[in-house]
Structure 1
Amino acid sequence: MSRRRACRQFQATGDCEYGAKCIFSHGDNDNRPPDPPNPLREWRLNLPRPGARTRPIDHAVFFQAGLDLVQSDYATMQDAVLGLASYGGLVRVTEVLEKHEKVGRAAQDIYVQGELVPLFSMITHPSVVSCPLLEKPLVDVYNVIHGPHGIRAANVFLFLTTTIDIGNHSKDTLENRFKTLFHTLAQVILHNGSANINAQLVPIVEVFVDKAIEMSQDMQDANMDGVRKLADKLNRLLNMGKNITLADKQTVNVKRGKAKFVQHQAAPGGRHDNDHSDVRDIQILPTFDEINSQHPEYLPIQGQERDGLTSFEALIDRHFRLIREDTVGQLRDAIRTSLQTQQGNGGPRATGGPRTNIYGGLTLVDVVFLRGSGIELFVRINQPVRADAARRKNFWERSKRLQKDTLVCVTNVGESHVFCVVSNQGRPVQTQMRNNRQPPEDPAQTERLQKHNASNLYSKADGAYFTLKPVFIKPAGLAALIASTNWSALTKLVEFPGVLLPSFEPTLSGLQSMLRTDDIPFTDVITANGQDEIRLSIPAYARAPGFSFDLSSVTSPGQQLSFLPRADFASHTLTSRSTLDETQAKALIHCLRTSLSLIQGPPGTGKSFTGIALIKVLLAAKRKAKLGPIVCVCFTNHALDQLLEHLHEHGVEQIVRVGSRSKSKVLEDVNLRTIASKAELTSAEKHANWQLHQALDEDVKQASTLLDKLHKAHHTKHVEEHLRLTNPAHHVELFQGEMLEEGWQQVRNKKSDPLLKWLNERSANTLRTRPRSIEELQTATLQSMTRAERRALHESWITEIREITIENVLTASDSFHESQKEFGKVRGEIDLRCLQEADVVGLTTSGLARNLPILRNLRAKVLVCEEAGEVLEAHILTALLPSLEHVVLIGDHQQLRPQVQNYELSRESVRGAKYSLDVSLFERLVHDPSGTQPKIPYCTLETQRRMHPSISQLIRNTLYPALKDAPNV
């Protein structure tokens, strides 16, 4: 029997992190076979703990083992990086970074290749960089590398500038090492706001950028594309003053167009508090000052760029302002009209067209804090139908007013406004979290909810009851909203029927984030100006020597055919071996050898058929080219369902459909939410999930308790607590009894309420004619006050209690929403793992904008967009993920243009032609109506199979002179 002391950790948990190496006894388990080796656990043993002695280690072995862990399974990768970002891991990172000062010249290559490269490879590994759960831990590591004022980064990378080419290594090894070092330097700069102005780092980055340009002279080397993009981005970020273009060279032929007369337009800024020169500073929903402003908004004119903006910045600036005017501008004008007209308190009235309803008699009934959404407001308005409940119900159901998620605005003439969405057509509903987790119960809040259980839009004749959730609101505005227990008669509710926040907010936010990240692909093409034609390059992944596409997936059975992008290829070879017609085969080949491809298809010519054939060929090359999932985007949910169903019919199985508005029975089991609900969580995700659930529960409990205190601010216990903290003298006098002479204290009857007694008892001082101010009363004795003074002081106490409580509610709300964001990252991590296993990911354009944070980490290289001629350019711009190397736009610019809400911004309007918001990117690249955009090569499908020849003749004589009829129509 072992005489060793028992292991406390093993006794408590049944496990011990040291396993068989533990120096303490595990009881009967001492004789069991040794535990199988656990590389992660062994690696973690080298992480020093706070306060413990740091023992020396072999850094080369440590970081190489860490890199092996990162390159293993996904869960181990997460745990390894979390360990690296822990206290002990950051100690090891600091040690190896500061080691360069002691390394001799003979050992420099061993130090760089054996210690720094594995460390930097760990934190720049594609799986690590794209993991949402590791976003904060990575920032911690980059901050340590950066060091105070960037000194550590400057010293380390200055040393590395002298070691880029040292060592007896192959060209590929040196290139891979340089890419790792350069990528790490770029991430350190991008994650530290002060790095881009650090005088010590600028010359070091110049050396690395020059080396990147030198190594990427061969533009056909697909492996150097990432380095070229980083070099270009760092040049712009640091403003080095070099005119370096790392994209394919284009031939520029400037043409003089028609003479133009340009009217002067004042630059943005100063019109109101939401008018800024930089669109990143603009709030998406209008401010109160903006609503009341009489100045016209600044709207950029097509082809007219502002000074100080690059062509890319000007493009994003233009589309952000025009899209916002087309959507938010209508809301702004409608609210302004409602404030100016000052309508009465009757039922709903329409103003400014059918898109606006105004309701009077708005009253705040209750404020609650819910587990799923945070603060919500239970309100009532005047009932528009004075009839029985059945007729009221019929009115609300048929009118479809105040539907769930509808955008509304609470306005108060001359004071403020708050945007909300309709959360529920009745009382607030507590939602359950994932895994059937029950929200914490708060008795006071539950009692209030049950009190209004039967209150909804039609149940009561005295008013219509429903719940609002505030959106995009500043703390001051939310505080005023909660504090307003009795809204004035001038307070109204403006409804925007059919306007949903997700229909425009994600796109506008996406455009703002694009300016922050500055990593959109194909900017050289979409911002080109004054050129006759652009020569487009082969997709980067297809530039590898000897790369070829296997076309067997679209040929007849038994027909083998391949295609080399650099070689000549006769399209009739593909036509003779497949069901594609001549123009479809040409379009397919054109797309495979062009990084930005456009296919125009008149009605019935097989645009979708050609797109499916293209996707099948790309999927055949997915593994060889490391394409990742192919992202398929459509304008409508119906078109997306059709495309994905057709792919399923053609044998594509790994499909993920993102979005909840699918009506396809075939795609029910491949919806992202369905797939993610069945996914197993890693240990890191489970731990983060548990921590966030605890934090959310605590925030909800605290906020609910505070709201109950807000409702009962006048209760004696809250007044006593407030006085004990703010005015001890009044607290002692009121609740502990007056101090008498010789140290005696007057005793209060505990059964009576001392506060009520003090308020109601007759004052000894009845001769005072002028009430004293609150400031004077704060230092006076309570018994010396008149009844009026007592009530005034009591009201000031209640006001202070409410103000402090509301401030604490807002603090809890901020904490709640931060926890929700982190919770969303965990869910995004699970979604990302599901999407990475897909062959095809299908979304609508608005769905892509909503899921942009996840998709930017997907590392997809190919995007296919159908109906591109009907999609606003801003939606295509947000779809250009940083990782894309190949984009295919399929559409027809001679059919319907994108829809815009404001006719004054459309191409057909006399005033709107200068804005041309409804000109799609597809149309602008094929045939820019303004004549400023260069043409790019595109293919047109010419054989239609849908219309009778007598009908197709009508469009052949007008729009499509080359259109042909298939023999079978």
Structure 2
Amino acid sequence: MLFTREPHITDKLTCILELRFTPSTFQQVAKPLLALLASTTLVHSPHASDVRALLRLVWSCPLFFKRTMDCLNDPQLLSDVKHDSAPHFAALLLLLVKKLPSVVPLDDMCYDLLGRFRDWGHQNLPTTSGVVAMLNEAMELCEEFVPSRAPHDKAIGPRHDNDKPNVDDIQVLPTDDEMRCAEEPYLPLHPDSPSDAGAHVSFHFRAMREDALAQMRRGLQWWLHPSTDRFVPPPRHSDKPRLNVAVQVSLRQVHGSIHKGVLFQVRGPQPWPHETKANLTALWERDRRYAVGSLVCIATEVTMSPEPDAEPGGDAFPRRAPLACHSLVFGTVAVRDTSLLVDPDGFCISIKLIRPTEAPRIMRAMSHGLNVLLEVQNSFFTGYEPILRSLQAHDVAPRLRECLYGTDPAATWTQRPAYLTRTHLQLQCLVHPDHHHDVNLRQVPAASKDGLAAQLRAVMDKLVLDASQIDAFAAAMTQQMCLIQGPPGTGKSYVGTRIVDGILAQTGVTVGPILVVCYTNHALDQFLEGLLDDHIVRPLDIVRVGSRSKSARLDECTLFHLRKMEHFAGPTRLESATHGKLVRTCRDIEERTFSSFHQDTALAKFLQWLAQSKTESFEGICGPVDDEDGFHVQGGHKAQEKLFKKWEQGGKGWSSTMWKMNKPGRQALLRRWRHEFVETCSRRALHDFDVYQECVTKAAEIQTAQNLRLLGRAKIVGMTTTGCALNQELVRCLAPKVVLCEEAGEVLEAHLLSCLTAATEHVIQIGDHKQLRPLVSEFKLSIDANNGFNLDVSMFERLVQT
């Protein structure tokens, strides 16, 4: 954080980067700087915006990279220094490519440097250094970002504006053009296990996104089709999804939240128009429509009356579906306040767009005409969006990638976790309390799974594990990838708690917090309670992330509870000062800019603009302008608004040209004026929207840093798979070396991938693929449909069958 606040630090770093070092001074200048820039402290920092600013400064000094490469090529530089600095230099280049995707991968200098450095690595470094692997990964990313380096067939062209060959370029929320596309989306088949990791990530991103959006696409193309009678619901057993529809929706105001960003409050008619306020409160609390995180669509300028079907002879396979609306605007529900839902005259919700820069489009689109709010019933986009975003930023260590997708995963599974280098383990924790003095397992040979299992079986009658559990435990302690399968009641969860006990018992091993991930909140509560029941950890050693725990014993372990405790450190002075400044900036923008879009003041603001920019027309409607202030008409604001409303509705006035216009002419002119007004307001507001969003991002980084300090003290961090995806930045900064997944047979592979980071060295999956499979919404994507997609095959099942 100091980097962006203290200019002298920036100046000092710039001087170091521009220093003309030579092979004789490389060790004193460049070597420590490379080690700092490639350090895990920087890579996993929660202050992502500051890290990006630092990296932009580093990349702006090309001579630093040239001199570093020249020194590595110079025979005068000691070989030990080369071998120590080369991994840091490669890690820095890879970090630059990943963190500055709109700058570094597009630079030919970067691509050339990577190629030269890779050639040097092949000639001068052992294959075990990992340098060439990092450079290959960086070059592959550059080839993905630059079209000329990633050629593909363009004979047909994309289906729509969001049809991209690289999943990183696909917008998670749908676009207008995408939802109008009548062609099926591109969906690759489920790749075979021995295939490129990128192919697996691409498949899961595209298939999960289709699972999330297919019903919305079908629903919009049916309900908005010109020939559809929208007042007749579809047959119950048709493939048309059930929709929540609100007609005559209006934009009420633009407001903001330091936690959620720029929001648009929309108002729609009450679904239960004749109920009392008390009944409405009960109905809205019970009803699940417009839940926070739900995907909604606003269709603007909708034509409600159905039109006859097109005459035969037209295009039998159109690329675009006809929709009876002008545009489609997509967002997610951000605020669902019951007090704003129970007004008998209408309900209000706040939605968040994918980018605040789309504000002009939504305000322009909703400035006139009939607007409709649509949502697919019981479709929870909040469970998809964070997973999809995490897949776009997916990054795992090369060793783990080989375990998951390599040509011979079994061979790599048997490698020991990188943090467990010792060949003897401290396993006294497995001895039954009654035999604690009879058996000594403080130095157990553990060179292999079979060897460790044999040692433990020799004293099995004095341990807390049976024979099958010993095999599972031995596999988990000696393999970087471990699958534990068994039917219900065989003690899988119990052996999971003992594996955690065994890992924590290794003194002198730096493992950090163990991330425990479960599919359901109930399973997570049970597993964490099991750790407490067996006295493996204390409550203070556990942090349970998420607010849906039903266990009273875990109340004091929740992140929410710990943040309120006095003995846990709160924000630092620098964080408090920065957060206060961010809040003040946001409030200024809310008062200066957002207030101009409030429905209650919209007409006054519009007339003020009209008096200034269309003075002659304004005077023709409302009379002469008061010369003293330039826009107030004689009689005051109320008289001005009343007169203008009369003109808008087609009433009669004096004999000016404006009052002689017929009503359709007035409406057309007013529509053009409102477009101009919205464009003018939007252009002024765009900068403030960007600043507001930057403040929200910075505030989130400060919150992540505070949460990270709490999690860093724990031995166990527990999350559900959805919670893990929702807290992706926190998981990335926590960088857990060990990830243990319960109910792995019920977890979609994409969910588990979102829990793995570049720091993960040990993955333990516990489950039973012969019981329940993961759930998918679209039958065509399931294994039972026999289409080859097999989205509901978990990573656990895929690896078991490999």
Structure-2 separation of matches of 1:666 and 1:166: 58
- The answer as to 2:540 corresponding to 1:635 is no
In 2, the alpha carbon distance for the partners of 1:613 and 1:757 equals: 77
The one-letter amino acid of 1:702's match is R
Q: Distance in 2 between matches of 1:398 and 1:749?
A: 49
Higher relative contact order (CA 8 A, sep 6+): 2
Distance in 2, Cα, partners of 1:642 & 1:845: 15
Secondary structure at 2:553 match in 1? coil
* Structure 1 residue matching 2:515: 3-state secondary structure: strand
1:116 paired to 2:27: no
Unmatched segments (≥5 aa) in structure 1: 1-77, 218-223, 241-264, 429-455, 738-746, 762-782, 928-934, 936-969
Match of 1:511 among 367, 384, 391: 391
Corresponding residue number in structure 2 for 1:423? 335
Pair 550,297 (structure 1): closer, same or farther in 2 beyond 3 Å: same
1:644 paired to 2:521: no
**What residue identity is the alignment partner of 1:662?**
S
Q: What is the TM-score of this pair, normalised by structure 2?
A: 0.80
Q: Secondary structure at the match of 1:856?
A: helix
Change over 3 Å in CA distance of 1:380–1:757 after alignment to 2: closer
Q: Is the 8 A contact 1:382 1:464 kept in 2?
A: yes
**Number of equivalent positions:** 732
Residue 468 (str. 1) matches residue 365 (str. 2): no
The offset of 1:717, in angstroms, is 4.2
CA contact (8 A) 1:337 1:352 kept: no
- Letter paired with 2:583: H
CA deviations over 1:550-575 (Å, ceiling 9, x no partner): 11122232333133432533141352
* Structure 2 residue matching 1:99: 3-state secondary structure: coil
Contact 1:713 1:719 in 2 (8 A): no
Indicate how the Cα distance of structure 1 residues 608 and 154 shifts in structure 2: closer, same or farther if over 3 A, else same.
same
TM-score where L is the length of structure 1: 0.67
Distance 2:339 2:251 in 1: 10
From 350, 361, 370, the counterpart of 1:479: 361
Equivalent of residue 40 in structure 2, options 126, 132, 153: 126
Residue identity matched to 1:128: L
Letter in 2 for 1:527: Y
What is residue 430 of structure 2 aligned with on the other side? Answer: 554
Q: Separation in 2 of the partners of 1:505 and 1:175?
A: 42
Where does residue 594 of structure 1 map in the other structure?
479
**Which one of 539, 545, 564 corresponds to residue 416 of structure 2?**
539
Specify the alignment match of 2:60 in structure 1. 147
> 442, 447, 455: which one pairs with 1:566?
447
Query: Hey, what's the Cα distance between the residues in 2 that align with 1:640 and 1:754?
Result: 61
Q: What is the distance in 2 between the residues matched to 1:275 and 1:749?
A: 51
Q: Find the partner of 1:607 among 472, 476, 492.
A: 492
Taking the TM superposition and a 5 Å limit, the aligned residue runs for 1:744-763 are 752=635
Which residue does 1:136 correspond to in 2?
A: 49
Check conservation: 1:899, 1:918, Cα contact below 8 A: yes
The residue number in structure 2 matching 1:877 is 753
- Whether 1:657 and 2:657 are equivalent positions in the alignment is no
- From the superposition, tell whether residues 520 and 843 of structure 1 become closer, same or farther in structure 2 (CA, over 3 Å): farther
**Counterpart in the other structure of 2:702:** 826
2:738 paired residue number: 862
Structure 2 partner of 1:233? 137
Quote the Cα distance in structure 2 between the aligned partners of 1:348 and 1:470.
Answer: 30
Q: After superposing the two structures, state which structure 1 stretch, 654-663 or 606-615, moved more.
A: 654-663
Structure 2 CA distance for aligned equivalents of residues 830 and 552 of structure 1: 36
Where 2:19 maps in the other structure, the secondary structure is helix
Q: CA deviation at 1:294?
A: 2.0
Decide whether the 8 Å contact of 1:347 with 1:360 is kept in 2. no
Deviation at 1:395, TM superposition (A): 5.0
Partner of 1:297: 185
1:857 alignment partner, SS class: helix
| SS of equivalent residue, structure 2 residue 361 | helix
- Cα deviation per residue 1:417-441 (whole Å; 9 max; x = unaligned)? 233427325555xxxxxxxxxxxxx
Could you say what secondary structure the match of 1:276 adopts?
coil
> Equivalent residue for 2:771?
895
Residue 15 (structure 2) pairs with residue 95 (structure 1): yes
Task: Give, in angstroms, the shift of residue 583 of structure 1.
Answer: 1.3
Equivalents in 1 of 2:250, 2:656: separation in Å?
38
| Equivalent-residue separation in structure 2 for 1:608 and 1:96 (angstroms) | 54
In the alignment, the residues of structure 1 paired with residue 633 and residue 278 of structure 2 have an alpha-carbon distance, to the nearest angstrom, of 53
Q: What is the deviation of 1:400?
A: 4.7
1:575 corresponds to:
460
Q: Distance in 2 between matches of 1:725 and 1:87?
A: 52
> For the residues of structure 1 that align with 2:229 and 2:481, how far apart are their CA atoms?
54
One-letter amino acid of the counterpart of residue 14, structure 2? T
Does the Cα contact within 8 Å between 1:870 and 1:920 map onto a contact in 2? yes
Assess, with a 3 A threshold, how the Cα gap between structure 1 residues 593 and 342 changes in structure 2: closer, same or farther: same
Equivalent in 106, 114, 117 of residue 205 of structure 1:
117
Q: Write out aligned runs for 1:257-268 (5 A).
A: none
Change in 2 beyond 3 A, CA 1:671/1:482: farther
TM-fit CA distance, 1:388:
5.4
- Corresponding residue for 1:775? none
Q: 1:609 to 1:828 in 2, by over 3 A?
A: same
How far residue 869 of structure 1 moved from its aligned partner, in angstroms, is 1.0
2:748 equivalent to 1:837: no
Q: Which amino acid aligns with 2:756?
A: L
Q: What's the CA shift string for 1:747-790, capped at 9, x where partnerless?
A: 999955699899989xxxxxxxxxxxxxxxxxxxxx99664479
2:242 paired with 1:356: yes
What's the CA shift string for 1:570-626, capped at 9, x where partnerless? 1413524312011111111111111111111122111011110000111122x6231
Contact 2:404 2:799 in 1 (8 A): yes
* Residues in 2 aligned to 1:470 and 1:603: alpha-carbon distance in whole angstroms: 43
Taking the aligned partners of 1:518 and 1:532, their CA distance within structure 2 comes to 15
Match of 2:597 among 682, 689, 707: 707
- How far residue 535 of structure 1 moved from its aligned partner, in angstroms, is 4.8
The alpha-carbon distance between structure 1 residues 297 and 123, as it changes in their structure 2 partners (threshold 3 A), is: closer
Q: Which runs of structure 2 are paired with 1:149-548 in the superposition (5 Å)?
A: 150-162=62-74, 166=78, 176-188=84-96, 190-191=98-99, 193-194=103-104, 197-198=108-109, 201-202=113-114, 204-206=116-118, 209-210=121-122, 213-214=125-126, 217=128, 230-234=134-138, 236-237=140-141, 270-303=158-191, 311-340=196-225, 342-344=228-230, 356-364=242-250, 366-371=252-257, 373=260, 374-381=262-269, 383-384=271-272, 386=274, 396=284, 399-403=287-291, 405-411=293-299, 412=302, 413-419=324-330, 420-421=332-333, 423-424=335-336, 426=338, 428=340, 456-457=341-342, 459-460=343-344, 463-472=345-354, 475-476=357-358, 479-481=361-363, 484-485=366-367, 487-488=369-370, 491-514=371-394, 522-529=400-407, 534-542=411-419, 544=421, 546-548=422-424
Deviation by residue 1:308-364 (Cα, 9 ceiling, x = unmatched)? x97222111111111112221122212222213644469999796796234354332
- Residue 587 (structure 2) pairs with residue 684 (structure 1): no
Do the aligned partners of residues 586 and 302 (structure 1) sit closer, same or farther apart at CA in structure 2, a change above 3 Å counting?
Answer: same
Between the aligned partners of 2:746 and 2:631, the Cα distance in structure 1 is 79
Deviation at 1:368, TM superposition (A): 4.0
What is the DSSP-based 3-state SS (H/G/I as helix, E as strand, rest coil) of the residue aligned with 1:632? strand
1:259-309 Cα distance to aligned partner (Å, 9 max, x none) = xxxxxx99996222222222222222332333232212222123479xxx9
Distance 1:187 1:495, change over 3 A: closer
Tell whether the 8 Å contact from 1:100 to 1:156 is kept in structure 2 after alignment.
no
Alignment map for 1:76-95 (pairs within 5 Å): 79=2, 86-95=6-15
Conserved? CA contact 1:288–1:417, under 8 Å: yes
Q: Secondary structure of the residue that 1:331 maps to in structure 2?
A: helix
Query: Once the two structures are aligned, what percentage of the paired residues are identical?
Result: 24
- For residues 200 and 346 of structure 1, do their structure 2 counterparts lie closer, same or farther at Cα, with a shift above 3 Å needed? closer
